[in-house]
Amino acid sequence: MSVNWVLLLLPSDGDAARKVGGLTLALRLALDAQAAGAKAIIDTTQNPDVTRTLGDPRLGVPLLPNVPEGARPIAVPANWLMHRSTFATLLNAAPANDTQSTSQTLLRAAPLLGAFHPIR
């Protein structure tokens, strides 16, 4: 995917630091985003456990405080579990000049895209 996009981790109502299959939900989401072509991860959760887990050496993209200018954010609650191909589907569904969060698109489309409802 050649689009300049970033994963914007949103605060969640569940435990994003909960381990599923050996990885925390937040780290699993960030690693899947990295594999799908994300240029950076922006952690807005204000959860020190999530921030700590994102320091994992397998995460090779930078952690940034804000969405860089010109990047398209894909905003996802940090406790979501979704397949990496879902990111491409969301980017393809959004208008090319969209620089707004696509979390509303995700929430409407999730049952069709292979994303799972939040783990609490």
Residue pLDDT, tens place only, 49-95: 999 999 999 999 999 999 999 888 888 889 888 888 888 777 777 66
Residue pLDDT, tens place only, 20-38: 889 999 999 999 999 999 9
71 DSSP 8-state letter? P
Percentages helix, strand, coil for the chain, rounded to the nearest 5?
A: 30, 20, 50
| Spatial CA neighbour of 66 closest among 25, 9, 28 | 9
Per-residue tokens: 116: 């799972």
| Spatial CA neighbour of 77 closest among 48, 39, 110 | 110
Q: Which CATH number among 3.90.550.10, 3.60.21.10, 2.60.40.2230, 2.120.10.30 corresponds to the domain 5-116?
A: 3.90.550.10
Q: What is the domain partition of the chain in residue ranges?
A: 5-116
